[in-house]
Amino acid sequence: ASDLTKNSVKLSWKAATDDKGVKNYDVLRDGAKVATVTATTFTDQNLAPGTDYSYSVQARDTVDQTGPVSAPVKVTTPGDGTGPGPGPREKINLGYFTEWGVYGRNYHVKNLVTSGSAEKITHINYSFGNVQGGKCTIGDSFAAYDKAYTAAESVDGVADTWDQPLRGNFNQLRKLKAKYPHIKVLWSFGGWTWSGGFTDAVKNPAAFAKSCHDLVEDPRWADVFDGIDLDWEYPNACGLSCDSSGPAALKNMVQAMRAQFGTDLVTAAITADASSGGKLDAADYAGAAQYFDWYNVMTYDFFGAWDKTGPTAPHSALNSYSGIPKADFHSAAAIAKLKAKGVPASKLLLGIGFYGRGWTGVTQDAPGGTATGPATGTYEAGIEDYKVLKNTCPATGTVGGTAYAKCGSNWWSYDTPATIKTKMAWAKDQGLGGAFFWEFSGDTAGGELVSAMDSGLR
C-alpha cells in the first residue's frame, strides 16, 4: 500500500506465475471483490476518511482457475478533521533510526510501536550505509539483515526462523510498514564517520549512483525502502576529513542519483553553517535542490564542548540572542540563507536533536560561562540523551528558542517538548516542508519529543 489519502490508496503486488499463464487479478477489500485488473497495481478511490480497510489479491490464470488469496495489507485512511482518524498530515515528521542502536542502546524497530511514535512520524531514515571504493555499501550486515528477533522483540509478535531470507532491522522495518503503511523508509549513506568516501565516489557520479540504486533495490529488501538519503558531511568543505571536489560536485552527484532512482525519494542532510564563506557557500545547494526532494538541515551542534573552556552556548538555538559566540550559528540564519540562495522553503526540514550537549566546571547559570571540559555522558563525553537529561538535569532557562540547564557544575543545552512546539510553529510560519530529528533512541519510552513534533506540525 502507498500514496494513502483520506479517500484513496494505491496497491501494488508482485506478479504471479502459472503454468497456463496469468490472465488477471481480483482485488479484495474487506473480503469483497472491488476490481479485476491485468496490471499489478490498482488505486481504490472510493474510501471514507478515518476508516480501517484490509486488502488482499488473488490471481486468475487463462483457464479461470484462481490462486490462493494473498496475505492482507491493512490501511487506515487519514481523517478529514471532522471524524475519526488522526487528521490530514501536510508536514513531514522524519526520524533517524540508527543501525548500531540495537546493541548498547538496546533500541529496536519495535520501540517505535511501543512508544507510540510510529503513528506520529511520516518517514524514517535508516542510518547508515557506508561509502567505500566509489560505491554505496552495507554498514553492518548483521544488524541490517541477519540478526534474529524473538516473538517478543518483533514488531508483529512473530519470531524469525533460521532459514527465512531476511531478518534483522530490514525485516522489522518491513513489518512496521505493513502495520503503518503511511511510513516511508529511506536508506541513509555517509554521516559524520563515513562521509570520507564521497570524495572518490563523486569522481564518477553515474557509477556511484548505479551502485547505490543496486544496493537499495536489492531484491531481498527492495520493498523496505522508498528512496535514498545522502549524508555528505561536507561537500567541498571539512568535516571529519576535508573534501575539495568543487562546488558543482553535489549537484552532479544528485543529478546522477535522480536519473537512477526516478520518482523514488532522493534527499540529503546538509550543513546549517550560515556564516559568510562558510559551508553553505562551499557547494551549489540551490542548483542541487532541483533534484532533491528535500534537505534535512542539521540545525543542531552549533556549539559544544569541543570548545573545552566554553563559552557555554545552546547547541541548537532557533534564533540569535545577545552574546551568541558566532553570529550566524542558529537555525533561523541557516534557513534564511538557503531561501536567499533560491532553495524552496517546502524543500527544507528543520532539524531537532533528541540530545543535549554540555560542559562541566561551570559556575554561571546563564549562557556564556567558562568551563573546564565536557560533561560526562553515557556514551560519549559532552553529549547525553534527552530521556536522561530531563530527569538528571532539568531545564532551568530558555535562550534563543531552546532550553538550557545548570545542575551542580554541569551546564547542558537541549530541546524540550515546549521548545520543540515553538520551533514547529516557526517552521510552519516559514513555509518549511516539516522537520526531522536525530535520533529515535534519545526520546523517552513514551515518545514525548516525537509527540511534541507531531502536534506542533499539525
- Decide the pairing of beta strands 410-414 and 402-407: antiparallel
Can you give the pLDDT at residue 89? 58
Secondary structure letter of residue 242 according to DSSP: B
Q: Which residue has the higher pLDDT, 50 or 29?
A: 29
Cβ-contact 211, 136 below 8 angstroms: yes
> Which residues partner with 260 through β-bridges?
none
The pLDDT, as a whole number, for residue 115 is 97
What are the structural domain ranges in the chain? 9-76, 92-353+418-457
Q: Are 35 and 44 in contact (CB under 8 A)?
A: yes
CATH topology of domain 9-76: Immunoglobulin-like (2.60.40)
pLDDT digits (tens, 9 = 90+) for 363-394: 999 999 999 999 999 999 999 999 999 999 99
224 neighbors 242 (Cβ within 8 angstroms)? no
Q: CB 296: neighbour CB atoms within 10 A? A: 29
Query: Where do the DSSP E strands lie in 316-439?
Result: 348-353, 355-360, 373-374, 383-385, 397-399, 402-407, 410-414, 434-438
Q: Where are the alpha helices (DSSP H) in 69-132?
A: 110-114
How far apart CA 238 and CA 244 sit, in angstroms, is: 9
90 is catalytic: no
Question: Could you tell me the pTM of the whole model?
Answer: 0.82
pLDDT of residue 76: 82
The 10 Å Cβ neighbour count of residue 432 is: 24
Q: Average pLDDT of 27-38? A: 89
Catalytic residue among 99, 233, 439, 448: 233
Taking only the tens place, the pLDDT of each residue in 320-334 is 999 999 999 999 999
For residue 377, which of 105, 192, 103 has the smallest C-alpha distance? 105
Residue 15 has a pLDDT of 92
Separation of alpha carbons 99 and 228, rounded Å:
15
- Counting residues of the chain whose pLDDT is more than 90, the rounded percentage is 86
- Cα–Cα distance, 10 to 25 (Å, whole number): 15
Residues 6+ apart with CB under 8 A from 297: 270, 272, 331, 334, 335, 338, 348, 349, 350, 351
Q: Rounded CA gap, 112 and 127, in Å?
A: 15
Say if 9-76 and 92-353+418-457 have the same CATH topology: no
Task: For the domain made up of 92-353+418-457, give the CATH fold.
Answer: TIM Barrel (3.20.20)
- Does residue 205 have a cis bond before it (omega within 30 degrees)? no
Cα-atom radius of gyration of the chain, to the nearest Å?
A: 23
Of 356, 357, 358, 379, nearest in space to 105 by CA: 379
Single-letter residue type at 348: L
The single-letter code of the amino acid at 245 is S
Q: Summarize the chain as % helix, strand, coil (round to 5).
A: 25, 25, 50
14-23, 83-92, 124-133, range with greatest mean pLDDT: 124-133
Query: From residue 389, how far is each of 203, 375, 410, 414, 431 by CA, in Å?
Result: 44, 12, 11, 8, 31
pLDDT at 79: 62
Q: What integer best gives the mean pLDDT of the chain?
A: 94
Q: Which residue has the cell 571539512?
A: 238
For range 442-452, the mean pLDDT:
97
> Per residue in 68-119, pLDDT tens?
898 888 888 876 544 333 445 579 999 999 999 999 999 999 999 999 999 9
Q: Which SS3 state, helix, strand or coil, does residue 132 take?
A: strand
**pLDDT computed for residue 81 by the predictor:** 43
Which pLDDT score, from 0 to 100, does residue 53 have? 85
Given a cut of 70, whether residue 284 has pLDDT beyond it is yes
Cis check: omega of the bond before 128, within 30 degrees of 0: yes
Q: Residue ranges of the alpha helices (H) in 247-305?
A: 249-261, 285-289
pLDDT greater at residue 200 or residue 82: 200
pLDDT in tens, 166-175: 999 999 999 9
Residue 305, pLDDT above cutoff 50: yes
346 contact partners, CB below 8 Å, separation of at least 6: 294, 431, 432, 433
Within 13 Å, how many C-alpha atoms sit on residue 376's CB side? 5
152/176 Cα distance (integer angstroms)? 15
Which grid coordinates are listed for 381? 563525553
